[in-house]
């Protein structure tokens, strides 16, 4: 912490000039600052995404537009606007603004900040304290913040990428307004990139961005606006170093050291690659399936989309040949929803390997399609009287439930009985294959059908 950090500003409490906190938000307006810093929004209206936090009367609006004292905890992925919101506060508040990084500050520094804020308040000057990466604070460091928050000696703005319910102590969490920030959509990341290309604070139109290069940068950003601008700056530097003004996809690939995967989530590549992925699993070529999975992951495909296709495939192309395949696919989908990328790549790979190496059968999908075809053809006759509901008054007089044979009364667990309507009685829809578990099931089903249809 620098000397004089806690000195009161000159000029008195009201409208006093704010001392520079000396943190990452200070002194970054120079032209050699990173593009992501230069393009940091100057007003809430310039903030991209997080519309749910910007509605009139929201706590964020109150704090920035109305200069209201509040304690706010900002939780969200990297590059979604947490530091930007703190920056807006530092620019627009009439209060003293102090920034502390949880990476370098200890308990003593935190206590010094709180003590300085208390002295400032006695002189009529309120303090806003910004703590970046608050999840890096241990319990003692977070405890040191409590007196200032509880007595409102400071208005605390704390930012974290970790779930605060696990990384922030309960007393601090209960005294804070929790605001959750979402990852930016591709459209929003594209807006951030386009603005940086033309804005005078950014590249000022000195370069143009080819459409495929833009798509590549947006995909690789993964919803992180700061990462997108970092990649854009590097790609623009690669182009201008060669005397060119157009940033190509090769520049983008070179700048971020990742090959540009030709893949459009809304176009032909999207459907071609997912089709090849499923057909490779169906064909039991595990290595080809993993190749296509890797292409989708690298291109930024939604992992939930991949997981949904694996669940469908588990029933459509494997089914009862390996009933555990569906269990694996469903478990993978649940895991993907909870953990996301990059860890989800492991779960998706495990499910892909299981499904690709499992015995195959399309008997499930053909069975339901045969049954649907008959129903659509009008073969949907009356339910046999023995199977009808017999639990209401007068049902027995109508013959409902009469002569119903209870399977558990037979030692075999199966009894001769007509279950299907007359129109489709004896129709065979499910025809098991001879692979995996279905081979044994086919023999068992043959014995069951022989009993069920043996009526006299």
Q: Do 353 and 277 fall into the same domain?
A: yes
Whether residue 122 is contained in a domain is answered as yes
Average pLDDT along the chain: 81
Q: Do 377 and 426 fall into the same domain?
A: yes
Q: Do 228 and 102 fall into the same domain?
A: no
Whether residue 11 is contained in a domain is answered as no
Distance CA 128, CA 370 (A): 69
Q: Do 394 and 343 fall into the same domain?
A: no
CATH number of domain containing 171? 3.40.50.300
Total number of domains in the chain: 4
- Whether the per-residue pLDDT at 47 is higher than 70: the answer is yes
Judged by average pLDDT, the poorest of 188-202, 356-370, 431-445 is: 431-445
For every residue of 12-58, DSSP letters joined together read -STTPPPPP--STTSS--STTS-HHHHT--SSGGG--S-GGG-STT-
Q: Do 315 and 415 fall into the same domain?
A: no
Q: Do 176 and 101 fall into the same domain?
A: yes
pLDDT at 17: 38
Q: Which domain holds residue 283?
A: 268-357
Q: Do 164 and 55 fall into the same domain?
A: yes
Q: Do 176 and 43 fall into the same domain?
A: yes
* Domain final position from 357, 388, 412: 357
- Whether the per-residue pLDDT at 273 is higher than 50: the answer is yes
Whether residue 352 is contained in a domain is answered as yes
Name the token pair of 421. 């309507």
Match 């209206």 to its residue by tokens: 45
Residues 396-444: pLDDT tens digits? 666 676 777 778 878 888 888 887 888 888 888 888 888 888 888 888 8
* Domain final position from 200, 232, 256: 256
pTM (global) more than 0.75? no
Whether residue 200 is contained in a domain is answered as yes
* Domain final position from 222, 256, 290: 256
Whether residue 25 is contained in a domain is answered as no
pLDDT at 19: 39
Length of the chain (residues): 456
CATH number of domain containing 334? 1.20.272.10
pLDDT at 85: 83
């Amino acid at each position: 912490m620098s000397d004089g950090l806690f000195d009161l500003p000159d000029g008195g409490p009201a409208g006093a000039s704010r001392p520079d906190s000396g943190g990452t938000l200070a002194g970054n307006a120079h032209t050699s600052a990173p593009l992501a810093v230069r393009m940091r929004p100057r007003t809430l209206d310039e903030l991209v995404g997080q519309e749910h936090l910007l509605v009139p009367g929201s706590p964020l609006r109150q704090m920035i537009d109305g200069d209201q004292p509040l304690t706010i905890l900002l939780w969200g992925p990297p590059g979604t606007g947490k530091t930007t919101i703190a920056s807006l506060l530092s620019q627009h508040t009439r209060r003293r603004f102090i920034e502390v990084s949880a990476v370098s500050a200890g308990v003593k520094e935190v206590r010094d900040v709180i003590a300085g804020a208390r002295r400032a308040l006695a002189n009529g000057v309120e303090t806003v304290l910004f703590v970046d990466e608050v999840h890096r604070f241990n319990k003692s460091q977070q405890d040191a913040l409590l007196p200032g928050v509880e007595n409102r000696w400071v208005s605390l703005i704390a930012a974290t990428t970790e779930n605060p319910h696990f990384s922030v102590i309960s007393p601090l969490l209960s005294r804070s307004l929790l605001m959750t920030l979402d990852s930016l959509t591709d459209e929003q990341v594209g807006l951030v990139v386009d603005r940086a290309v033309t804005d005078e604070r950014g590249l000022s139109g000195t370069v143009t961005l080819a459409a495929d290069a833009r798509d590549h940068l947006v995909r690789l950003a993964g919803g992180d606006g700061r990462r997108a601008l970092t990649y854009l700056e590097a790609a623009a530097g690669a182009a201008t170093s060669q005397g060119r003004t157009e940033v190509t996809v090769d520049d983008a690939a070179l700048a971020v050291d990742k090959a540009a995967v030709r893949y459009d989530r809304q176009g032909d590549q999207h459907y071609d690659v997912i089709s090849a992925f499923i057909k490779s699993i169906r064909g039991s070529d595990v290595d080809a399936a993993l190749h296509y999975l890797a292409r989708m992951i690298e291109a930024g495909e939604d992992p939930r989309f991949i997981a949904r296709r694996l669940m469908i495939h588990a029933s459509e192309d494997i089914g009862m040949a390996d009933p555990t395949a569906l269990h694996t696919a469903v478990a993978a989908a649940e895991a993907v929803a909870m953990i996301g990328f990059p860890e989800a790549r492991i779960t998706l790979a495990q499910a892909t390997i299981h499904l690709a190496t499992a015995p195959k059968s399309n008997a499930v999908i053909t069975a339901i399609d045969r049954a649907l075809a008959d129903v659509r053809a009008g073969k949907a006759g009356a339910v046999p009287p023995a199977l009808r509901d017999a639990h209401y008054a007068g049902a027995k007089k109508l013959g409902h439930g009469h002569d119903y044979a209870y399977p558990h009364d037979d030692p075999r667990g199966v009894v001769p009985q007509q279950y299907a309507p007359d129109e489709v009685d004896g129709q065979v829809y499910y025809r098991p294959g001879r692979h995996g578990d279905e081979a044994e099931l086919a023999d068992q089903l043959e014995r069951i059908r022989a009993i069920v249809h043996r009526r006299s």
